[in-house]
A and B are shown apart, each in its own frame.
Chain A
Amino acid sequence: MTAKIGVVVFPGSNCEHDVVKALGLFGSARVEGELVWHGERSLAGYDAVVLPGGFAHGDYLRPGALARFSPVMEALAKFAADGGPVVGVCNGFQVLTEAGLLPGALQKNRGLRFLCTTVGVEVCTTRTVLTSESVVGAKLSLPINHFEGNFTCDPATLERLQAEDRVVLRYTANPNGSLDDIAGVCNEEGNVVGLMPHPERACDAMTASTDGMGLLESLVVAATRRAAVPV
């Protein structure tokens, strides 16, 4: 059974096609990526959902602040609460924190620079829908492309994230001032993941790295598992 992954398009998203193309590399027999307009109120029929990178609603006010009120977000909250796999990449991560589906916030980078480079990250846990097929300690090379990627939260939240094994990825050399070198976090159940690096842009041999494939493989596995469960 082919798993169906919805890729949400907000006005201002710009990585949605990259995600669909990357998912295409897994073969149409396994998975199908499909764009979902942010005005949709239902996510029925999708086995996983990706919030892609970009500048949803122009990043006005704060990145993700307005996207949080897009009609699709109510359906997304229900989908996530029901255990559906949800991954937010870059701007998608910012949207998930603003929506309260992930803790913390993404602040302006230390040094106030827009960063467009390739960074090293380490997989810190395999209990999530984005890392289940990876191994703890795996070093990945992934592109980042953001101005507001400096993860922050209060000390109690950080302690909880660490104690509950919810730091998904850490930078090996912190590029943006992120608290505890955090590049990605997950919710308690591990089915909602947000990360600043772009795995979908590290899937083709034409690019510098194909390390993103391992992460997306985990997402495809999670979506396939959900597709197999009768609704």
Chain B
Amino acid sequence: MKYEVLVEVRLRPGIADPQGATIERALPALGFDGVDDVSVGKAFRLSIEASDETAAQRRAVEMADRLLANPVIEDSTVTVIGVAAAAGNGAAGNAAAGNGAR
């Protein structure tokens, strides 16, 4: 089974985030007032072949720890979004798309 997984990586608390600070300063200039705590991170979407959801989650956490995030400055969270629609899987894939699953 293929699982669609979202890995979000963000700076750990206390680590300076110059990109977030710059965006936060820019927003009022566009009329977006009252916005605080802007932080910039990264998001990775993956399709992972795994026996079940727990296994998919475990593999993604390992990937995040070893490569996707730098544990010195970043934290990561892993969310299994669901079963990935298999491309080229004929009827099943088409049906999902046709049903407005997305």
Are A and B subunits of one complex?
yes
- Interface stretch among B50-58, B67-75, B76-84, B88-96? B67-75
Is A97's beta carbon under 8 Å from chain B? yes
Name the B residues within 8 Å of A103 (CB-CB): 72
Q: Chain B: residues with CB nearer than 8 A to chain A?
A: 14-16, 18-19, 22, 67-68, 70, 72-73
Query: Bound complex: CA of A108 vs CA of B23, how far in Å?
Result: 14
Chain B's interface: helix, strand, loop or mixed, by majority? loop
Query: Bound complex: CA of A65 vs CA of B68, how far in Å?
Result: 8
Is A112's beta carbon under 8 Å from chain B? yes
B73 touches A107 (CB 8 A): yes
B22 touches A112 (CB 8 A): yes
B70 touches A98 (CB 8 A): yes
Q: Chain A: residues with CB nearer than 8 A to chain B?
A: 61-62, 65, 69, 97-98, 103-105, 107-112, 150, 152-154, 177
B67 touches A152 (CB 8 A): no
- Also in contact, A110 and B67, with CB within 8 A (given A97-B72, A104-B72): no
Query: Bound complex: CA of A162 vs CA of B14, how far in Å?
Result: 20
B18 touches A152 (CB 8 A): no
Taking the closest CB of chain A, its distance from the CB of B58, in whole angstroms, is 21
